[in-house]
Amino acid sequence: MNRYPLWKYIVIAVSILLGLLYTLPNFFGESPAVQISPLRTDARTDAALLQRLEQVLNQQNLPYSGTILEATGIKIRFADTDTQIKAKDILSSEVGSDYVVALNLLPNSPQWMRHIGALPMYLGLDLRGGVHFMLQVDMEGALTKSLDRFSADLRSTLREQRIPSAGIERDRSKIVIRFRDEQAREKAITEFGKAFEDLAFQSGDAGGEARLTISIKPEALVRMQNTAVQRNITTLRNRVNELGVAEPIIQQAGADRVIVQLPGVQDTAKAKDILGRTATLEVRMVDEEGDIDAALRGSVPPGTELFTERGGGPLLVKKQILLTGDRITDAQPGFDQDHQPAVHLTLDNNGSRIFKQLTRNNVGKRMAILLVEKNLTEVVTAPVIREEIGGGRVQISGKMSSIEARDVALLLRAGALAAPMEIVEERTIGPSLGAENISKGFNSTLFGFLAVATFIMAYYSAIGVISVVALAVNLLFLIGLLSILQATLTLPGMAGMALTVGMAIDANVLINERIRDEIRHGASPQAAIHAGYERAWDAIIDTNLTTLLAGLGLMIFGSGPIKGFAIVLCLGILTTLFSAVTVSRAMVNLLYGNRKLARVPIGTIKMPKKSNHKY
């Protein structure tokens, strides 16, 4: 009765082999590498580029131990981090700004393993070092921004249609337009209705004035919020690319949050600076009629704001925004005709058209180019428009250094954020701490396993050895499964692994105790084994399902570190059910099933002097 059909043995053998195969890559370690990936669609990584890079490395006497050419990029492996860092500098100056050159770690596992998808687990930030940010999108800010844009559009519609109005103002989440008469209002509503699908209009009179209150429709609001988050993610991705990070993770978390993980980043200040900056460009007109002296005394004329030009005096700038940074397709640092540092901008079609019209209508007047960085607005330059500028090529040259020009270009190129963002969570782990955490997690699991193994083998003798082998197979399955799923291993995940070892043995203890019980009650060895496995099954299922329930609770409600722990815990329960019951049973059947047993090798059992069960 303790025999398994052949197919069961085969299934078990195959799964152990697979477990072994997929666990192995984790033990090859990683070597430093430089990764070159294209930043623009027209830049390609091909064999020609690889050859060029290899030549450069050979010329510089930088030995490399291997190259990988993929559609997404080129990876070059080095023996040590010193060579890696030197090579990164040389390679990034070689390929220029069309590519991202980043430091990375590559698994050392053999090629054929990688081909069958046997890859090591991805190490979490707490194990490899790096930065984790959670950013929250300021939705109110996004709303204000889009309302401002809507007011500008509404104003130009009124002008185009020659509808007289007495003023247009933003009042918190609404725009209020005052009209001279109702006729004008009616006409405006019809015209607006054609052009602005996302707006809701409500007429009302106050103080004998015809007013129109305009708000954004709720469904449009939701859509705008989603787009704001999506656009911010795109912007962040561009910025991270500029930073040169291999394998960054940028993803949405909840309705208005974004998670950014930069493994291996050590200069956190720079990362934070680039990510946190919400620079955008605004083009507005300078109000030259306004009274500057009065403004300096505190009475700024309505519809204008007071700013100081970089390296110049104060000036009044109209509030109306004519053009924003999202029309910029490219920004490069350079020099102007007078050899002063400058930023060269390229605008998109729409932007070019607006800019052309703007400059045509305002020849001889001053326009202001403002750089808006998180609550800080600065007039970079306020040149006089000499002629119409077409073609979408604009040059900003204020009083800036070449480093400033480079930074401004980088920020503008990386794009403006659709809405301001704020860092609400940060976790930075230094690289040395990461390495320590790996060994701590590994040692906890290893010594925990050894302690349990020693005890169980001493207590249950041969059957105990089988239980321990099943436990080892369990760990193998767990690591193999995590590797196949390409799960991210974290320190809490390793704790989960250790805990799985401690809890998985429960199933085998239940079985072994049952077998002992059956023997005490006088069952024959084979019957005792059979009944032990059969009767323990109910309890094993119940105990594991309740623990699984707790694991699921952690997975659903937990965040970050807790989730990692919960995933390992849940997977561990699944592998336990298979290995502790099926694998250990297979071993028992194979070793003891086909022969007569005088006794079950399950350690010495104290037999009862008299039976307990004479009720």
- Interface with other proteins in residues 95-134 (CB under 8 A): 126, 133-134
| Residue with token string 């007078």 | 338
Per rule CB under 8 A, is residue 334 in the interface with other proteins? Answer: no
- Residues 164 and 184 sit within 8 Å (Cβ to Cβ): yes
d(C-alpha 429, C-alpha 263), whole Å: 9
d(C-alpha 25, C-alpha 119), whole Å: 6
Question: CB of 609: closest distance to other proteins in angstroms?
Answer: 6
Q: Which of 56, 189, 213, 276 binds other proteins (CB under 8 A)?
A: 276
Contacting range for other proteins; rule: CB under 8 A; set: 141-149, 319-327, 497-505, 586-594: 497-505
Q: Which of 116, 269, 376, 598 binds other proteins (CB under 8 A)?
A: 269
| Helix, strand, or coil (residue 518) | helix
528, 534, 551: which is closest to 597 by C-alpha?
A: 528
3-state DSSP percent of the chain in helix, strand and coil, to 5: 50, 25, 25
Question: CB of 382: closest distance to other proteins in angstroms?
Answer: 30
Q: Which of 48, 71, 116, 556 binds other proteins (CB under 8 A)?
A: 556
> Bridge-partner residues for 305, per DSSP?
317
Per rule CB under 8 A, is residue 543 in the interface with other proteins? Answer: yes
Minimum CB distance to other proteins smaller for 596 or for 613: 613
Degrees to nearest 5, angle at CA 25 with 21 and 31: 165
Question: CB of 466: closest distance to other proteins in angstroms?
Answer: 16
Q: Which of 252, 444, 524, 526 binds other proteins (CB under 8 A)?
A: 444
Contacting range for other proteins; rule: CB under 8 A; set: 27-35, 108-116, 381-389, 496-504: 496-504
- Residues 37 and 73 sit within 8 Å (Cβ to Cβ): yes
Per rule CB under 8 A, is residue 246 in the interface with other proteins? Answer: no
Question: CB of 532: closest distance to other proteins in angstroms?
Answer: 12
Contacts (CB under 8 A) with other proteins, residues 559-588: 559-562, 565-566, 569
Minimum CB distance to other proteins smaller for 66 or for 553: 553
Q: Which of 492, 525, 532, 572 binds other proteins (CB under 8 A)?
A: 492
Contacting range for other proteins; rule: CB under 8 A; set: 189-197, 240-248, 364-372, 606-614: 606-614
DSSP state of 605: -
- Residues 242 and 261 sit within 8 Å (Cβ to Cβ): no
Q: How far is CA 538 from the centre of its chain?
A: 42
99, 87, 91, 88: which is closest to 44 by C-alpha?
A: 99
Minimum CB distance to other proteins smaller for 246 or for 275: 275
Contacting range for other proteins; rule: CB under 8 A; set: 92-100, 225-233, 503-511, 583-591: 503-511
Interface size with other proteins, residues (CB under 8 A): 86
Question: CB of 424: closest distance to other proteins in angstroms?
Answer: 3
Cα 363 to Cα 7, 289, 358, 383, 388: the distances in Å are 87, 16, 9, 11, 7
Per rule CB under 8 A, is residue 538 in the interface with other proteins? Answer: yes
Q: How far is CA 509 from the centre of its chain?
A: 42
Q: Which of 67, 92, 108, 136 binds other proteins (CB under 8 A)?
A: 136
d(C-alpha 247, C-alpha 128), whole Å: 13
